[in-house]
């Protein structure tokens, strides 16, 4: 039996749908002929507590710090024991295991740590899926790689996990115990990521709280010229009282100049003109999409993430959204016309954009060297049923399609 272990149920269902022979659903798995697809539920395992290494470390004591395990241990998460038992049973029957975690560092760790925890010693292949659309999953299934090639990615994720544990456990205990000696009652939580981020937030909060507003005085004129009007701004010289951003902070010079300007005539001494080309905006990463959606529609970052997850997992309209990349694989270029045609099928605005696209163009967005674990957000090619999409989902979907469509505009 071949056992495919997906990172989450939605990915497992997409894989099962792309396998031949139909599917038979059972608890925690889907059987498709001689292949069984099962899944994790996020991390099934976590770093063991300090007392798992030495019972004496269950009590918080400064003289026991630092706690540095010699051999690292993992423990099942309380809510994941049932699914872990399903995988344990299936992996004993497997002649081959396929690792189908997300194509990033954490996805590599999440599934591989389960395979190693259950002491599987047989062959392991790697399935990389960033698009839940059936044709994309079928293509991915036809080109499995050896999981051994991804060992450095696993080791990087494992090192990150252990560093978080060392930093969090030891410094949280150290600061909490020191705080108690100073009279503080409660846990002082310290984390490798949470603490510096919290520090940035506090510093910014303090800067806002302590900000002292002051006036500055811009001056502009509306000028009549031969072919209409233009607006010109006064740029004060360094002889004027300026702040660190070059803004005038005393009103008198601006008032004096403004009094002389009405009705005055001037001569254009120098004019420079240049024609510039602007590249098409790159397809979106998640953060770039969050910025644009906030500017256009007032959506919060969390709302955009939730909508993208829905478009990816439920509607299967876009590729994997949690990406920090703004480039697309070169192999996607020949498929772009088909995927965009499908994405635009049921929307008048998108269809109008499609009519103006020139698919003979190639922008810099198609670049394998710039693509990491994930590529930029893109439509899968599935036609959207806008009757089932919320207004926000439709808005975000159109943005994703638009920025890929832009690669085929001058």
Cβ within 8 Å of residue 250, ≥6 positions away: 217, 240, 241
Report residue 83 as tokens: 């699914």
SS3 384: coil
Residue indicated by tokens 């026991």: 64
Distance between the two ends of the chain, CA-based, in angstroms?
52
Using CA atoms, how far apart are residues 266 and 221, in angstroms rounded to an integer? Answer: 12
Using CA atoms, how far apart are residues 111 and 124, in angstroms rounded to an integer? Answer: 11
Active site residue: 120, 217, 284, 320, which one? 320
Using CA atoms, how far apart are residues 90 and 81, in angstroms rounded to an integer? Answer: 14
Burial profile 70-84: b = 16 or more Cβ within 10 angstroms, e = fewer:
eeeebebeeebeebb
- H or E stretch covering 359: none
Of 200, 203, 192, 206, give the one whose Cα is nearest residue 161. Answer: 192
Task: Report in angstroms the alpha-carbon separations of 17 from 29, 87, 95, 304.
Answer: 13, 20, 22, 28
Using CA atoms, how far apart are residues 91 and 93, in angstroms rounded to an integer? Answer: 5
Of 164, 146, 133, 165, give the one whose Cα is nearest residue 320. Answer: 133
> Within 13 A of 335's CA, how many CA atoms are on the CB side?
15
SS3 15: helix
Strand partners, 229: 224
What does the DSSP 8-state code read for residue 312? I
Is 172 within 8 Å of 190 (Cβ atoms)?
yes
Whether 120 is catalytic is: no
Beta strand pairing call for 24-26 and 45-47: unpaired
* Residues marked as catalytic: 320
């Amino acid at each position: 039996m071949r056992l495919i272990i997906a990172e989450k149920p939605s990915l497992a269902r997409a894989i099962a749908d792309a396998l031949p022979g139909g599917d038979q659903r059972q608890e925690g798995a889907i059987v498709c002929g001689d292949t069984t697809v099962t899944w994790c539920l996020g991390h099934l395992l976590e770093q063991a507590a300090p007392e798992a290494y030495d019972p004496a470390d269950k009590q918080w004591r400064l003289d026991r710090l630092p706690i540095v395990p010699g051999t690292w241990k993992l423990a099942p998460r309380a809510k994941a024991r049932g699914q872990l038992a399903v995988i344990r049973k299936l992996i004993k029957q497997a002649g081959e295991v396929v690792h189908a975690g997300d194509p990033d560092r954490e996805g590599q760790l999440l599934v591989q740590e389960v395979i190693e925890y259950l002491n599987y010693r047989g062959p392991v292949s790697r399935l990389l899926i960033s698009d839940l659309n059936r044709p994309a999953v079928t293509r991915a299934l036809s080109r499995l790689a050896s999981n051994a090639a991804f060992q450095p990615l696993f080791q990087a994720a494992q090192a990150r996990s252990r560093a978080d544990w060392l930093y969090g456990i030891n410094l949280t205990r150290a600061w909490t115990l020191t705080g108690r000696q100073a009279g503080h009652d409660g846990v002082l939580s310290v984390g490798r990521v949470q603490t510096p981020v919290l520090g940035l937030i506090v510093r910014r909060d303090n800067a806002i709280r302590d900000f002292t507003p002051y006036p500055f005085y811009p001056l502009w004129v509306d000028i009549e010229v031969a072919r209409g009007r233009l607006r010109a701004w006064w740029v004060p010289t360094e002889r004027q009282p300026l702040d660190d951003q070059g803004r005038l902070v005393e009103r008198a010079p601006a008032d004096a100049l403004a009094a002389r300007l009405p009705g005055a005539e001037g001569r254009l001494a120098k004019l420079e003109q240049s024609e510039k080309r602007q590249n098409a905006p790159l397809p979106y990463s998640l953060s770039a999409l969050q910025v644009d959606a906030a500017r256009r529609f007032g959506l919060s970052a969390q709302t955009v993430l939730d909508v993208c997850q829905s478009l990816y997992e439920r509607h299967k309209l876009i590729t994997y959204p949690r990406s920090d990349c703004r480039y697309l694989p070169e192999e996607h270029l020949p498929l772009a016309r088909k995927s965009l045609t499908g994405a635009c099928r049921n929307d008048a605005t998108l269809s109008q954009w499609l009519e103006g696209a020139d698919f003979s163009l190639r922008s810099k967005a198609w670049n394998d060297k710039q693509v990491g674990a994930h590529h930029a957000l893109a439509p899968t090619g599935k036609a959207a049923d806008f009757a089932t999409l919320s207004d926000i989902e439709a808005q975000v979907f159109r943005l994703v399609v638009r920025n890929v469509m832009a690669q085929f505009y001058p």
